[in-house]
Amino acid sequence: MLTNKKVFSAATLKNIAVITMVIDHIGGTLVYEFEQRNVQNIGIDGFISMWMRIIGRIAFVLFAFLLTEGFVYTSDKKKYALRLCAGAVISEIPYDLVESGSIINIWDQNIFFTLLLGFCIIWILDTIKEKGIFIKVVVVLLGLMLSEMLRCEYGVMGIGLIVAFYCLRGKMILYPVVLVECFIGHLANDLIHNFVSINRDVIRKGSEIHLFSWDEISIITKVNFERRLSQTMPGILAALLLIFFYSKKKGKQLPKAFYYLFYPVHLIVIFFLMKIVF
C-alpha cells in the first residue's frame, strides 16, 4: 500500500527555489541573448531559454509558499518584515541593471517588494481575523491595486498567490485555487504590462492615456492564453507537487543572510556577464 511520505523540508524547498530562480534568470538573459544573436529563425522565444524559463516558474510559487510558512512560525514579524525591506532596497539597483540596463527604473520593482507587500497584507489579515469578510476583501483589493501601482514583480498574481497560501493553508482546495489564481493572475499581469508599456511615454509627458478597447483586451488575452498555458503552468504544477510533499520541518538551512544577499549578488554577476559576453 502506497503511503504519502512528506519528504521535503522548508530548507529543501528554499534551495530548490533558489536554484530554479537562477536557471530562470540565466535563461531569460544570457541564454536568450545568445540564441537571438546566433540561432537562425529562433522566433520570440529561444528553445533552450524557453525551457529554462519554464523550470524557473517553480521559484516564485515556492518563495510565496515559504513566506506564508515563515509568517506563521516566526517569533518576530517585525524583524521578518524589516529583513524583507532590507532585501528590497539592496536588490533594487542590481535588479534594474539586469531588467533595463539602468541604475533606476521606476517601472519595475524587484521580487522582495512583492514579498514584503504580501507579508504586510497577510499580517493585516491576521490582525483583523475577527472582523467581517468585507473589510478583509477590501484589504486584499487595496493590496492588489498597490502591487500594480508600485509595479511590483508578478503584481496581482504574486499578491493573490501569497493571500491564497495564507488563507487556505493546510486545505486541499488550496491546489486548484492556486492553479486558477496563477493562470488568471498571469493573464491580468500581461494585460497590465501591455497597458503600461504602451502608455509609459504618455504618462511621463502627461498626455492623454490610451485605454484598451474590448477588442484589444480580447486580442492581448488570446495571444497570452496559449503561451501561459504551455510555458507557465507546467512550472506551477511542479511547484505545487513539491509543496504537496512538504514535511512541515525546517530542515538544515543556510544562514538567513545568504538567501537575502544571494538574490542581488547573482543579479550583479549576470549583469557583468552580459556586459562581458555581449
3-state secondary structure 204-244: HHCCCCCCCCHHHHHHHHHHHHHHHHHHCHHHHHHHHHHHH
Grid coordinates belonging to 237: 504544477
Q: What is the pLDDT of residue 1?
A: 41
Domain that holds residue 175: 10-277
Give the pLDDT mean for 54-67: 98
Within a domain: residue 2? Answer: no
* Cβ neighbour number for residue 168 with a 10 Å cutoff: 15
Within a domain: residue 1? Answer: no
Cα atoms in the 13 Å half-sphere on the side-chain side of 148: 19
Summarised one tens digit per residue, pLDDT across range 89-99 is 999 999 999 99
Grid coordinates belonging to 4: 504519502
**Spatial separation of the C-alpha atoms in residues 237 and 62, rounded to whole Å:** 11
At 56, which amino acid appears? G
- Return the percentage of the chain with pLDDT > 70, whole number: 96
Q: What is the pLDDT of residue 4?
A: 60
Would you say residue 214 has pLDDT above 50? Answer: yes
**Spatial separation of the C-alpha atoms in residues 132 and 22, rounded to whole Å:** 41
Within a domain: residue 3? Answer: no
Summarised one tens digit per residue, pLDDT across range 256-274 is 899 999 999 999 999 999 9
Within a domain: residue 166? Answer: yes
Q: Which residue has the higher pLDDT, 46 or 121?
A: 121
Count: domains in the chain: 1
Residue 46 has phi, psi (to 5 degrees) of: -70, 150
Q: What is the pLDDT of residue 138?
A: 97
* Cα angle 80-21-15, degrees, rounded to a multiple of 5: 60
Would you say residue 171 has pLDDT above 50? Answer: yes
Q: Which of 69, 61, 65, 42 is nearest to 250 (CA)?
A: 69
pLDDT tier for residue 2 given thresholds of 50, 70 and 90? very low
